Amino acid sequence: MERFYSIALAAEQLDVLTLVKDSTGAVMAVLIILVAMSLISWYIIAMKAVYLSKARRQSDAFQGIFWSSKRLDNTYKEAENLKRSPVAQMFRAGYIELTKLKKGEKEKDKEAESMELSGIENVERALRRASLAETTELEKSLSFLATTGSTAPFIGLFGTVWGIMHAFVNLSANASDLGIQTVAGPIAEALIATAIGLVAAIPSVMAYNYFNQKIKVLQADMESFSNDFLNIVKRHFFK
């Protein structure tokens, strides 16, 4: 009975903070790496959530302005205030290229047909470059979440394996005392590495998938807007 009470008391004392604090060597190094990865991941999650939320709101606001406005120059002025909107930034790139082309046409009226063909292609390229730039910005730092989600469990497993090896080495060195107390603490300290690895990985994977879905929606908006803008430009500026 006394032995059972001592085991129960030891189990109560093995809380998470104690296990982390009492870890040593490779297990402690693994825990530090995992905690750092988790903190960085949560920072990225918070920043990306705010960024994508603003991008969504501003893109919706810009598209309302674009379709209700009758002048592209007025729309351009409004787009300057919507820095987070990828659609607005695409419009700005296309409008700037279109302005350059129309100025060039006023200076050169020769070879008008070939100029119109190359002109619309230039606008299309400008929109494509802006789309790629905005997509890159939207996906910024997501690779760290993917890396954390895929590697953190294995890093934690490495710490667990190393800790269990250490526990059995201690057990062989104390062959006279084969009680559960000899290995319970070291094994629990080793298992906490896997637990923290999962704690770091699960939110990262969930956030990565969630943000990817949000980015796909914004990319679809950019693609749709690009086609609409090119159609408007063809009808009104390259007749």
23-77 tens-digit pLDDT: 666 778 888 899 999 999 999 999 999 999 999 999 999 999 999 888 888 889 8
- What is the rounded average pLDDT of the residues 178-185? 60
Euclidean distance between CA atoms 97 and 94, whole angstroms: 5
Domains in the chain: boundaries: 25-237
* Joined tokens for residue 146: 């993917």
pLDDT of residue 170: 66
Between 20 and 235, name the one with better pLDDT: 235
The DSSP output letter for 15 is: -
pLDDT tens by residue, 121-156: 888 899 999 999 999 999 999 999 999 999 999 999
The pLDDT of residue 181 is above 70: no
With beta carbons less than 8 A apart as the criterion, state whether 40 and 206 touch: no
The pLDDT of residue 16 is above 90: no
The pLDDT of residue 164 is above 50: yes
**Spatial CA neighbour of 208 closest among 164, 152, 148:** 148
With beta carbons less than 8 A apart as the criterion, state whether 168 and 7 touch: no
pLDDT tens by residue, 87-115: 999 999 999 888 887 776 555 554 444 44
Lowest mean pLDDT among 16-25, 84-93, 130-139, 193-202: 16-25
Categorize the per-residue pLDDT at 161 as very low, low, confident or very high, splitting at 50, 70 and 90: confident
Euclidean distance between CA atoms 50 and 1, whole angstroms: 57
Q: What percent of the chain has pLDDT over 90?
A: 45
Categorize the per-residue pLDDT at 9 as very low, low, confident or very high, splitting at 50, 70 and 90: very low
Euclidean distance between CA atoms 234 and 122, whole angstroms: 12
Q: Which residues contact 232 (CB under 8 A, 6 or more apart)?
A: none
